[in-house]
Amino acid sequence: MPVLHEHFEPGSMIRELQAHNDMITAVDFDVPFGTMVSSALDDTVRVWDLNLGRCMGFLEGHHASVRCLQVEDNIVATGSMDATIRLWDLSRASYAPRDNRLNKNEDEDDEDALGFEDPSAEPPPPPPSSMEDCPLFSLESHVDEVTALHFHGDTLISGSADKTLRQWDLVKGRCVQTLDVLWAAAQASSTMGGGESQWRPTGRLPDASADFVGALQCFDAALACGTADGMIRLWDLRSAQVHRSLVGHTGPITCLQFDDVHLVTGSLDRSIRIWDLRTGSIYDAYAYAHPVTSMMFDTRRIVAAAGEDVVKVYDKTDGRHWDCGAGTTAEEEGSTPAIVERVRIKDGYLTEGRRDGTIGIWTC
């Protein structure tokens, strides 16, 4: 696969998809120019070939909108407002648009490996049954909508509006542990000698749109979880205990991601904070004009959706802030792009989902 920045300047559009008829609620992809899965308030979950910009089919089975999802190799996990999580195997799909292109000769070189094709050409619709063999199983223990999930290996962690986190064994397909966030907060408060409650009101009126569990990520026995009180709690799944709470945000947590050294968090308090996991202290922080609804980083950049028609980009190597997305040229083109709600970045390849159902794909 070609290196992105040998072919595109950072901030270049690769393509734009009219993906859904309503606001994008979640989006993820496996590798640049690979497979993307998107969900929206139109109650559909769609699978895309990013190389050709074609919809490969629909993942059908949920009874309400999907709020969160993850793509890892061929496996997809979706969490829904219907309180269930479903697992899918895309390798079972029967629609392969790379092989179904019209007028493609067998000996033709794949010159459009970067997706150069007429964007106005209408791709053939996927067969209705293209994804019917993809469902694996559903996980049903939550009693309210699933708002966050993450899986690593054979373990999946989910967070719900029922105020619990659940740990699932993906081999057996069952819940093996339930973590009560409010109970853990009360325990932490009592072990601190009866000091300030660890379920910490943010000093603002409750935001009805804020999720109780806004974001989480797991790796082996480590779990980071961000909640509506602005706290990030680091759990040890072996003991089912919170071993550290990170205090700093003043609004609900909407997104987080960690690596070996740092944890990056975004919040409705309009800020992004970078924490040093070794000390639990804030390493860096910066603010935007609007609430942060989504964030992700790769080796070079932190990208965020922060209530604008552009993706906010922070270059970790030189400390530069810049904008990427349709809003950067909207004025000269006379267009009015919708607000960006969701972002994903891997190896400089950025996808962003907007309130009008559009998904933009960029180099970053």
318-346 confidence digits (pLDDT tens): 999 999 999 888 777 788 999 999 999 99
In a domain, 183, yes or no: yes
* Region 127-135 average pLDDT: 90
CATH number at residue 90: 2.130.10.10
Give 101's pLDDT tier (boundaries 50, 70, 90). very low
- Cβ contact 272:282 at 8 Å: no
Q: Does residue 261 lie within any of the structural domains?
A: yes
Question: Within a domain: residue 29?
Answer: yes
Across the range 264-275, mean pLDDT stands at: 98
pLDDT at 119: 46
Q: What is the pLDDT of residue 314?
A: 98
Q: Is residue 300 part of a domain?
A: yes
Q: Average pLDDT, whole number, for the chain? A: 88
CA–CA separation, 14 and 363 (whole Å)? 7
Q: Tell me, yes or no, whether 126 lies in a domain.
A: yes
- For the chain, what is the domain count? 1
- Residues 3-41, buried b or exposed e (16+ Cβ, 10 A)? ebeeebebbebbbbbebbeebbbbbbbbebbbbbbbbbb
Is residue 108 a part of any domain in this protein? no
Has residue 105 been placed in a domain?
no
Q: Domain span at residue 299?
A: 4-100+114-363
Stretch 69-87: mean pLDDT: 98
- Write down the pLDDT at residue 277: 94
Structure tokens at 274: 């970078």
